[in-house]
Amino acid sequence: MKQEQVVTSNRQRQADPATKNLEVLQAQFPGQVALTRDQTAKACGFKHPVTVDRLRQRGLLHPNLTTRRPVYPLTEIARFISQ
């Protein structure tokens, strides 16, 4: 039993940074799976939403383009922040 608890706590300490960032984003934007350009800029701490467009052009952020406007999944934003 003790050994099992130690293994679990070690796994919690070694949590992926992207997972940690995803939890923070989910708390900041409850009930949302993806964010708009303006919301993404705010979540990343950018002053201007144009920065998100520039990161997209450079291939560093990958939006979901199935809708009329590009939306950025929370998992993608968390991955970018953890890099």
More confident residue, 5 or 44: 44
pLDDT digits (tens, 9 = 90+) for 3-33: 555 455 555 555 677 888 899 999 999 999 9
Cα(49)–Cα(46) distance, integer angstroms: 7
Q: Which residues contact 69 (CB under 8 A, 6 or more apart)?
A: 36, 37
Enter the tokens of residue 82: 């953890």
pLDDT for the residue 8: 53
Q: How confident is the model at residue 77 (pLDDT cuts 50, 70, 90)?
A: very high
Q: Say if residue 74's pLDDT is above 90.
A: yes
Q: What is the pLDDT of residue 57?
A: 97
AA identity, residue 37: R
Q: Where are the domains of the chain?
A: 17-82
pLDDT of 17: 79
pTM for this predicted structure = 0.77
Q: For residues 8 and 74, which has the higher predicted lDDT (pLDDT)?
A: 74
